[in-house]
Amino acid sequence: MWLTQPLLRLKLRRRGAQEPGYLLAMDEHFGHYASVAPPFDGNTIWVHAVSLGETRAAAVLVAGLRARIPGMRLLLTHGTATGRAEGTQLLLAGDLQAWQPWDTPGAVQRFLAHFQPRIGILMETEIWPNLVAGCAQRGVPLVLANARLSEQSRRKTLKLAWLARPAYRALSAVWAQTQDDCARLASLGAPVQGVFGNLKFDATPDAEQLALGQAWRQRFARPVVMLASSREGEEAALLQVLASFGPLALVNTAHTATISVVHEVQWLIVPRHPQRFESVAALIEQQGFALLRRSSWPDGPLPRLAPADAPSTRPTVWLGDSLGEMALYYGLADVALLGGSFEPLGGQNLIEAAACGCPVVMGPHTFNFADAAEQALAAGAAQRVADMTQGVQAAAKLAVDAIALAGAQHAADAFARSQCGASERLTQAVVQLLADHPISKKSLHVNSHGQPPT
């Protein structure tokens, strides 16, 4: 880890060429915090949310902790530029934000000495051996919250069992999302103390964004299907399928016509990573489609002026080239194809789609969110298909069937509501751990019941 530090700097500069956020405060990665004033009140709660999804989940937990720990100072750390940008929205006066320290003993010790956290809360998956060891040496309780571990990740971790098992065993507590996650984490020696569900079910979609997307949808006559949080290779697969269909088999519409899926449905692509917006835009045009970018329609997408089936009119594909607007896109879409599931990448989170009432069609690869995917299937909030061709057919068929679509939308909303509650359970567990820890109990002034003294 020490020897690879120059390579890390090179990687950050290269990524910074596409995402300038990576060029911000680069020395923080190595434990140097000249621009961040150290806290001196002994009341710092450190939450590490590596990327965008973990940061959004952390927002729910942070809100619960602020309500239970008066005077709490938040230290928020990240590993990606999108996570750090999202995290700025969680900061209040006096809070701190920094990059995760690179996992060398020196960087970790400088990080802990500078910020002096009373507790460290790692979100979901982030386990670094030197970081865990450094916290244990300094007596800082370190926990893994909203923890998940796929079987594929467990197998990879076991290849370094001599390094991983001591790190997992040294954690103060682990709170898993599901029973399967619990079993896999326990097999690595993790001290799992509860199965609390997934925090992301407690996250409330941005109501203003959702309402705006739904309003735009009402202005547009055709159904909208979105490829949500797409990964490399999936956009090309979708466009190739759409280009190959031509007149498609019988899709029942209001006009009972046999027409092309490309012309019957409006297709929207929202890439997972912003650095790929330009390459996906170029790909759409290379495949012969007209391009309409979110950045070019601040007041909403405009319908075609020419008839949808006019031979001279190229089908238009919308591109969601903006950050932080997934609720808007889910409000605009009738159905979502789940990104990351049509390539062997494990799938993206489908919970936000369900919370927005948007049913999902997912490919075969959902191992990163296996339990949520199976639960969504059982609830009728999702469908599974074998490949992108079947995905296009299933999504289009659902989008143009008003009765089936209404049922799937209701099922998605009910599924999301039925899974809530992890936030309260996690908040109570963190507060109780602070109360039970001698140093934290003194500095945070909580009693044995996890409540501030009267």
What is the helix (H) or strand (E) element at residue 217, kind and residue range?
helix 207-219
Q: Are 230 and 270 in contact (CB under 8 A)?
A: yes
Helix (H) or strand (E) holding 89: none
Instruction: State how far the Cα of 418 lies from the Cα of 454, in Å rounded to an integer.
Output: 35
Say which residue the tokens 């020395």 belong to.
27
Three-class SS of residue 355? Answer: helix
Report the alpha-carbon distance of residue 7 to residue 437 in Å, rounded. Answer: 39
Catalytic sites, residue numbers: 54
Would the CA dihedral through 339, 341, 347, 349 be positive or negative? positive
Which contiguous run of DSSP H or E holds residue 440?
helix 438-444
Which residues are CB-neighbours of 27 under 8 A, at least 6 positions away?
A: 33, 34
H helices, E strands: number in the chain: 19, 14
**Termini Cα distance of the chain:** 48
Whole-number Å distance between alpha carbons of 86 and 201: 18
Spatial CB neighbours of 180, under 8 Å, sequence gap ≥ 6:
370, 371
* 362 membership: H or E segment, kind and range: strand 360-362
